[in-house]
Amino acid sequence: MSELAGRLVERIRRDGPLRFDEFHAAALYDTRDGFFASGGQAGRRGDFLTSPEVGPLLGAVVARAIDAWWEALGQPNPFVFVDAGAGPGTLARSVLHAGPACRASGALRYVAVEVSAAQRALHPFGESGFESRAEQRAVDPHTSPGVASVAELPAGSFDGVIIANELLDDLPFRLLVFDGGWREAFVDATADGRFVEVLAPLDDAPPFALPVDVPHGARIPWQERAGWWLADALGRLSAGRIVVIDYCSDTARLAQRPWREWLRTYRGHERGGHYLADPGGQDITAEVALDQLAAAVRLPDAVRTQAQWLALHGIAELVDEGRRAWEAGAARADLVALEGRSRIREAEALTDPSGLGAFTVAEWLVPGPATRSRPH
């Protein structure tokens, strides 16, 4: 039994069964032995692959989008770009490498938010990266350095964009099970220390419609914390947008599907074990129910597939540019030429309709008057 499992068993025996989201939170985010604290992460050497790890092309597209959003807001200074759930900093590296114009102007404040100190320790730093490896405070976007690596969303109100790439699917969720009616899953421990699921009546009603006419044993996530995160993030923007990139569905569809399709575990680039097995040793993730986010705040202003979103922000132009670079430098096989050739393969992966290209990009806009430039 792992140390985290032992502590959870002791907690259950002392306080009674844990609601599933409490178990989930400990399994992923315990500051000492949770999955992300103990080395779990995205990346080719990690446990799962997200779009930024495919290569630098996504960051180049995001850099173009950042400049377009900055222009649309009237070139505010500062312009805050929050990379929420930044993991080891892969997206940040590629965005900074692409060199958005708003950074060259001095307006950009790039804030990489990552709760895991172990992953913040992997963030780039120095002149071309972050000013610190592991600041444990929120950043005032009006006075922070050009780039910062922090544990919390920036405090106060600011003009800018908050992007969450595969963050909401990892936020702890409550788990409901249909057993003649919707009941809530809790985690208990047997005498020999195994974790088992027990059901209890719902103490409160969710803000979304519970599905009806579902099979016995149907399950749905109650993504309460994802809704709280979205409401909090929207409240921090004076003008700008929230961009959520994730694998998404809705509550009614999730209830009709086998739960193992949408409630997944990952370890070492393979599907892991049961979600109650080995807390801290595997990622636990669920598809995001967009209707629940809408119930928590409001309907998104735009919903596209990742392939459509990338097309909107110029991935084709970047691929063509890469192809020309490869054709011009293939004989030398220099770094620019090789990067250009790589863009073609990366684009195929990022826009694959049966894979990453089918991910959902949902955007919530916060309109505001054009922001006057402020000294920095």
Q: What per-residue confidence (pLDDT) applies to 202?
A: 95
Instruction: In whole angstroms, give the CA distance from residue 368 to residue 353.
Output: 35
pTM: 0.90
pLDDT in tens, 101-115: 999 999 999 999 998
Burial state string for 148-187 with b = 16 or more CB within 10 A and e = fewer than 16:
bbbeebbeeebbbbbbbbbbbbbbbbbbbbbeeebbbbbb
Q: Are 350 and 357 in contact (CB under 8 A)?
A: yes
Q: Is the pLDDT of residue 336 over 70?
A: no
pLDDT in tens, 186-224: 999 999 999 999 999 999 999 999 999 999 999 999 999
Residues 256-273 have pLDDT tens digits of 999 999 999 988 768 889
Q: What is the DSSP string of 36-54?
A: TTTT--BSTTSSB--HHHH
